[in-house]
Structure 1
C-alpha cells in the first residue's frame, strides 16, 4: 500500500487508532455478552428480553465492523482475536448465567462503559481534527446512551 496522506499526522492517527482499538474491544465484548444473554435468558420477560438482546447484538455486529474499518482507514492494524480484545476491553467477563434482571443490569453497565470509552477517543479525535472518527464515535455514543436508557427502563 502507498503512503497515507489524509491530513492527520502519523502520531495522531496512531493515538486515535489506539482509542478505537479499545472501543472495538469493548464493543466486541459487549456483543458477545449480549449474544450469550440472548441465548440464555429465562423468566417472565423471556420473549421481550430475548428479542431486545437480538436487536442489540445485531446492531453491535455492524458497529464492530465500522470501528475496525475506521482503524484500517487510519492505516493501523485492527485487533481481531479474543486474546487481543481481552487485553484491551474495559468490560468484565461474566461467569455463569445470571438472572434476567442481572443480565439487564450487566448490559446497562456495559453500554455505559462503552459511552465512557467513546468519550475518551472522541477527545483525541477532536484534538486531531479527525471529523470522520468524531462522527463515528459520536454516533456510537448516542446509540449506547439510548440502549442503556432502554435497558434501565425495563428494570
Structure 2
C-alpha cells in the first residue's frame, strides 16, 4: 500500500534520492570512523580510541535513521558498497597518518561536508517538495553533526 502522507509520489522520489546521497555520506563517514578507531596510534591512544568508539556508535545511529526515513517515503535505501560509493560526496580515501590529530582532522572535514550538504537540502525539502517532516529530520541531523564537528575541532585547538 502506497503512503498517503500529503507528499506526491514525485516529490517523495526526489527527496528519497537526496536522502540516498546523505545515507551514502553517513555510511562512508561511519566506515572512516571505524578506520580511525581501529588504526589509531600514539601516546593518546586509549582516550582517543574510546572517543572514536563513541563516535562510530553515534554514526551508526545516524546511518540507520537516514535509511529508515527513506523507507518511510516508500523507497529502498541503497545497501551495497558499490551504490554507496556511487552516491557519496565524500572520498573513502584516508588522508594523513594514524595519529589522533590526522584522523580527527579527516573526520572533521567529512562532518563539515555533510553539514554543508544537509544545509542545502533543508529549504528544498520544505519549499520545493512540501516535505516538512524530512526538512525537520535533516535539520536534527545537521545539529548532531555540528555538535560532533565542534567536539572534533576542540581536539585540534
| TM-score with structure 2 setting the length | 0.92
Matched, 1:113 2:113: yes
1:96 shift after superposition: 7.9
1:19 shift after superposition: 1.0
8 Å Cα contact 1:19-1:120 kept in structure 2:
no
Q: Distance in 1 between matches of 2:35 and 2:148?
A: 17
8 Å Cα contact 1:17-1:71 kept in structure 2:
yes
1:11 is aligned to: 10
Q: Distance in 2 between matches of 1:96 and 1:144?
A: 20
8 Å Cα contact 1:40-1:97 kept in structure 2:
no
Q: Distance in 1 between matches of 2:46 and 2:107?
A: 17
Moved more, 76-85 or 120-129: 120-129
After the TM superposition, list the runs of 4 or more consecutive aligned residues in structure 1 that deviate by more than 3 angstroms.
none
1:136 is aligned to: 137
8 Å Cα contact 1:27-1:63 kept in structure 2:
yes
1:70 is aligned to: 69
Q: Which runs of 5+ in 2 are unaligned?
A: none
Q: Distance in 2 between matches of 1:122 and 1:22?
A: 14
1:23 shift after superposition: 0.7
2:33 is aligned to: 34
| TM-score with structure 1 setting the length | 0.93
Q: Distance in 1 between matches of 2:39 and 2:47?
A: 13
The number of residue pairs the alignment matches comes to: 154
Alignment partner of 2:79: what SS? Answer: coil
2:103 is aligned to: 103
Q: Distance in 1 between matches of 2:49 and 2:96?
A: 14
